[in-house]
Structure 1
Amino acid sequence: MNIVAQKLSLGFGALKVMIKDSINIQGFKTLSGSHAFDDSQPAEKHAVIIDNILKSDCEITGKTNLHELAFGITGINKNFGTPLNPKYPKLIPGGSSSGSAAAIAAHLADFSIGTDTGGSVRMPAACCGVFGLKPTFGRVSREGVFPEQSSLDCVGPFANSVEMIATAMQIIDPTFKPAPLLEVAPKLACLDVPAESAVWQTIHHFLDTSNLATDKVHIENFEAAYDAGMQIINYENWQAYGHLTATGKVGQDVNERLLKAAHTTFAQVEYAEKIRRALTADIDQLLEHYDALILPTLPSLPPHVADAENTVAFLNLTAFVRPFNLSGHPAISIPLETVDGLPVGLQIVTKRHSDEQLCAISQFIVNAAEHSKKGVKS
C-alpha cells in the first residue's frame, strides 16, 4: 500500500499513532520521502510533539510516506511509492501528508500526524475521506520538524472523527482545552469561491439537509493570497532544500520545482507579506461577525493517479486551503461524498487561537448531519 515508510513500536498505550516522515523520532532517519537523505544520520532526539505523544496513552507504530520533501500536492512519490488511497483507490491520496491521511482511511491508526504548509493536511484529508486539522500557526511546536524554518507550516492531526481530532490536539498541544458542546447553531459565513458544480452541490445538500443556515460572503484578497502563499513557499523551500538539487538524488518533479523556486525574489516575498497582512485583517474582520467561515476544501474532485504525474498542473487544487496558511487561521476538513460516491471536503475556519472552538463547531455540524440522517431513516 506504500503508506508506511518505516515500521516501529515506540511507547505503550491504547491509542495507535503514525507520524509523517518529516518529523524527527530519536534513533530513526528522517527521510522526508527523498533519497537525498539516505545517508543522513538518525535523529538524535525526538521532536517536541513526539515527546508529547509518548507522555500520553499512545504507541507510535510507524512513520508515514509523503510527497518528496513535502513539496507537492498529489502525494505521488516515485522514490518510495505512492500511498494507496484506501477508500478511493483510483484517486490521488493528496499531498504532501499522503501516507498520514491514507493510514487513517485504512484504519491503521487512531490518529496520525502530518504537516500543512499550503494545505498538506487538509488536502489529503479531503482526498482520502477523513478529518484533518491545520491548527493556528504556531499553536503546535515545530521543533524537530522539517523544514526547520517556515512562516507557514503547521503540524496537525488526521482522524476518523472530530472527537479523535480533539483528543489528538490535547496530546500534541498541552494548551488545548476542549470547548463545551454548542447548544445553539453557530453563525456561519459561506465563502463564495469558484468550485466545480459537483463540489458545491454536495456542500449545499449537506448544509440544507442539516438545517444549517449560511450567509454568502466574499474576501477581497483571497485569490491574491493563493499566489502570495506560493511565493513564500518557494522562497522558503529553496532556502531549506536548494542545496539538495546538486546531489542528483531528488526526484525530477520536485527537483524542477526547486530550481524554479530559486528564481523567487525578495521583492516578490515582500509583496506576498503585504498580501498576508491584508488577508489576515480581512478574515479577522469577517470572523468578528461570524462564528466560522465555511467553503470547499478543494475546488474540484481529486484527479486520478494516472492523470496526476505533473504536480505543477494540479497546484490550483490548493486554491482554497493555502490562503489560511498565509493568514494563520485554524482550519479543518470534514469528509463528504457526492451522489456518485466521490470525495468532497468541507473546510471550516475560525478565529486564530480558537482551535478548541473550531472543533466544537465542527462537532455541532457533524452532529446536525447525523441527526438529519436519522430523521430521514425514521
Structure 2
Amino acid sequence: MASSLTTIPLAELQLQLNARAVSAVEVATAHLDQIQHHDNQIHAFVHVNRDSALRQAAAIDQKRASGQEVGLLAGIPVAVKDLLCTVGEPTTCGSRILEKFVPPYDAHAITRLRQADAVLIGRTNMDEFAMGSSGENSAFGPTRNPWDTERIPGGSSSGSAAAVAARMAPLALGSDTGGSIRQPAALCGIVGLKPTYGRVSRYGLIAYASSLDQIGPLATDVHGAALLLEAIAGHDPRDSTSVQQPASRYSQTFEQPLRGLRIGVPVEHFAEGLDPEIERSVRHAYELYKTLGAELIDVHLPHSRYAVSTYYLVATSEASSNLSRYDGVHYGHRSSNAGHNLVEMYEASRGEGFGAEVKRRIMLGVFSLSAGYADKFYTKALQVRRMIRGDFDAAFEKVDVIAGPVTPTAAFKLGEKTSDPLAMYLSDIYTISANLAGIPGISVPCGMTSTKLPIGLQLLAPPFEEDRLLRAARMFERETQWHREIPQLAAR
C-alpha cells in the first residue's frame, strides 16, 4: 500500500482520500517513509518534521470524519522550498546566514496551503538565496537528480523538483526568478509552472530579485500543477505587486482542449548550443500538436540574445539591495570574530554567512548600481528588458502560446560547470526571458535522452493566461506517457 500511495496519479490519490478508502495519515506516512528511505541519496530536504506532518494529517482525517467541508488539497502532502516563511519552522534560504532563523509568521502561500488542508511535509533544499541553476550552491550540500544521482537536478528549486520526481511528495512549491521552477522540472521529468508576475503573492518569500521572483507549483502532472496553482493564486493586499485579478478554477478547466490552437515556434531558440536530442524531442512535440489540430507559426524574439546579460544586471542589482539587510545586526548570522568596529563586524559576518555564488552576484549588483556605471549598465538593462517584453507582445498577436525547449542540454554531472559561471548561467538561456517579460510559462515532460535523462517542453502564454497554458500543456500530456515515467530509485 505504501509504495502505491507514493506512485499513483494525484487524481486517483484524491479520489481515495475523498472516498475515505485511505486516510491522510496513511498518505503522509507513505511519503514520509519514502523520504526516510531515499533522501539520504537525494538530499531533497533540509528539514522534515514527521510528528508535525502526522498531526496535520490526523486533524484532516478528523475533519472529514466529523462531516466538515475540507479544502482543495485535503490530505495531500506538499513540500515547500526553504525560502517561504513558515511559523515555527527553520527558513534558511539554503544559507548559513539564516541557519538559525525561525519566522514568526507564515508566507501568504503557506497560509493558502493551510486553508486548503494540505499537509506540509517538509522544507526542501535549494541554491542559496535562489541563486543557481544546478542545486549545487546550497550551504547544506547539493541535491542530486533521482534519475542519476551523479547529476544535478537543476536549480534553484532543486529540492522541490527532486522530491516530486522521487515521489517523496506529489506536490511542491518552488520559486522562479529566471527559470528556477521550469528548469529543474525539465531536468527531473516533472511539471513546473511559473505564474504571471503578480498572480501569486510574494508576501513571506525571502527575496532574491523582487521584480522577477514568482512562486509556483511543481507536480507529477498538469492536474497537480493546476490544483496547487488554484490553491495559492489570488490577490493579497500585503504584496503591492499582487494583481487584483481573480484566479480561475484551474483544476476544473485544464482538461478542456483548445480548438484552433496557434503555436509559436521561436526561431532563435533553435541555434548553436542546443543538444540534438532535445531539439528532436521538441520537434516531435510540435508534430503531435499538429495531429491535434494545432497550427505551427514561426515567431521571432530578436532581443532574446540579450536576455542572459540583461537578467544578470537586473537580478544582481536587486539582489545586492535585498541582501544588504543581512548584516549580523538586523538579520542573520553574526561572526564570533567580529573585529574592532562595525565595518569589520559586517565584513566578517557576511563573509562567513554567504557562499561564493551569492558573493559573486552581490558584487556584480553593487558594481552595476555604482556611481558612473548605473546608467551604462542597470538603466540600459531595464530598457532592453522592455524590448524583450515587446517581442513577446508582438508574437502573441499572431499565436496563442509559444513552445520550445526548456534547457539546452539534459542534466549534467555534478561539478561539471562549477568552475565556469558563464556556462552555468547559459543553462537558463530559454527560461530567463519569461521572467523579464513577466509572462507565465510551464515545463512538461516531452522525452528522454538515450541515457535515460528527462527532456522538457516549455510553453509560454500572454500575461494572466495560466488557464490557456494549462489546457495547452494537458493536450500534449494526455497524448503521451512521459509524465508517467518514474525514476528507478523512486519505484523501489
Q: Indicate the SS of the match to 1:27.
A: coil
Using the TM superposition, name which of 331-340 and 17-26 deviates more: 331-340
Q: Indicate the SS of the match to 1:63.
A: strand
Using the TM superposition, name which of 218-227 and 249-258 deviates more: 249-258
Task: Map 1:172-251; keep pairs closer than 5 Å.
Answer: 172-174=232-234, 175-178=247-250, 179=253, 181-182=256-257, 184=259, 186-192=261-267, 193=269, 194=271, 195-209=274-288, 211=291, 213-242=295-324, 243=326, 246=347, 247=349, 248-251=352-355
| Partner amino acid, structure 2, of 1:205 | H
- Where structure 2 has 5 or more consecutive residues not aligned to the other structure, the ranges are 1-41, 58-73, 235-246, 328-345, 485-492
Using the TM superposition, name which of 295-304 and 135-144 deviates more: 295-304
Relative to the length of structure 1, the TM-score reads: 0.92
1-structure distance, mates of 2:356, 2:394: 43
> Alpha carbons of 1:78 and 1:222: their partners in 2 closer, same or farther (altered >3 Å)?
closer
> Alpha carbons of 1:59 and 1:308: their partners in 2 closer, same or farther (altered >3 Å)?
same
Query: Residue deviations 1:233-278, cap 9 Å, x none?
Result: 1101111224568322222233233223321133222212211222
Q: Indicate the SS of the match to 1:17.
A: strand
| Partner amino acid, structure 2, of 1:65 | N
1:46 match = 106
Query: Residue deviations 1:128-150, cap 9 Å, x none?
Result: 11110000001000000011760
Q: Indicate the SS of the match to 1:104.
A: helix
Q: Indicate the SS of the match to 1:357.
A: helix
Q: Which of the numbers 457, 463, 467 marks the counterpart of 1:346?
A: 457
Q: Which of the numbers 346, 362, 365 marks the counterpart of 1:261?
A: 365
The structure that has the greater radius of gyration is 2
1-structure distance, mates of 2:442, 2:448: 19
> Is the contact between residue 137 and residue 152 of structure 1 (CA under 8 Å) also seen in structure 2?
yes
1:143 match = 203
2:334 match = none
Q: Which of the numbers 136, 156, 159 marks the counterpart of 1:99?
A: 159
1-structure distance, mates of 2:220, 2:99: 33
Q: Indicate the SS of the match to 1:5.
A: strand
> Is the contact between residue 194 and residue 441 of structure 2 (CA under 8 Å) also seen in structure 1?
yes
| Partner amino acid, structure 1, of 2:480 | A
> Is the contact between residue 74 and residue 308 of structure 1 (CA under 8 Å) also seen in structure 2?
no
2-structure distance, mates of 1:217, 1:284: 11
1:2 paired with 2:46, answer no
1:66 paired with 2:126, answer yes
Query: Residue deviations 1:114-140, cap 9 Å, x none?
Result: 101111111111111111000000100
Relative to the length of structure 2, the TM-score reads: 0.72
1-structure distance, mates of 2:143, 2:258: 40
2:20 match = none
| Partner amino acid, structure 2, of 1:7 | V
> Is the contact between residue 137 and residue 357 of structure 2 (CA under 8 Å) also seen in structure 1?
no
Structure with more of its chain in strand, by fraction:
1
> Percent of aligned positions with the same letter in both sequences?
27
1-structure distance, mates of 2:184, 2:419: 17
| Partner amino acid, structure 1, of 2:99 | D
| Partner amino acid, structure 1, of 2:86 | I
| Partner amino acid, structure 2, of 1:177 | R
Q: Indicate the SS of the match to 1:284.
A: helix
Query: Residue deviations 1:325-372, cap 9 Å, x none?
Result: 00011000112333402222110001101111110111112223359x
Q: Which of the numbers 18, 21, 28 marks the counterpart of 2:82?
A: 21
> Is the contact between residue 128 and residue 355 of structure 2 (CA under 8 Å) also seen in structure 1?
yes
| Partner amino acid, structure 2, of 1:285 | A
1-structure distance, mates of 2:140, 2:366: 26
1-structure distance, mates of 2:220, 2:480: 16
| Partner amino acid, structure 1, of 2:468 | Q
Task: Map 1:325-364; keep pairs closer than 5 Å.
Answer: 325-340=435-450, 341-364=452-475
2-structure distance, mates of 1:204, 1:148: 34
2-structure distance, mates of 1:201, 1:149: 34
> Is the contact between residue 113 and residue 158 of structure 1 (CA under 8 Å) also seen in structure 2?
yes
Task: Give the superposed CA RMSD.
Answer: 2.1
> Is the contact between residue 209 and residue 319 of structure 2 (CA under 8 Å) also seen in structure 1?
no
Structure with more of its chain in helix, by fraction:
2
1:252 match = 356
- Where structure 1 has 5 or more consecutive residues not aligned to the other structure, the ranges are 374-378
| Partner amino acid, structure 2, of 1:262 | V
1:158 match = 218
1:289 paired with 2:349, answer no
| Partner amino acid, structure 1, of 2:90 | K
Using the TM superposition, name which of 150-159 and 11-20 deviates more: 11-20
> Alpha carbons of 1:240 and 1:310: their partners in 2 closer, same or farther (altered >3 Å)?
farther
> Is the contact between residue 281 and residue 446 of structure 2 (CA under 8 Å) also seen in structure 1?
yes
> Is the contact between residue 194 and residue 442 of structure 2 (CA under 8 Å) also seen in structure 1?
yes
1-structure distance, mates of 2:287, 2:409: 21
User: After the TM superposition, which segments of 4 or more aligned residues of structure 1 sit over 6 Å from their partners?
Assistant: none
> Is the contact between residue 253 and residue 311 of structure 1 (CA under 8 Å) also seen in structure 2?
no
Using the TM superposition, name which of 109-118 and 183-192 deviates more: 183-192
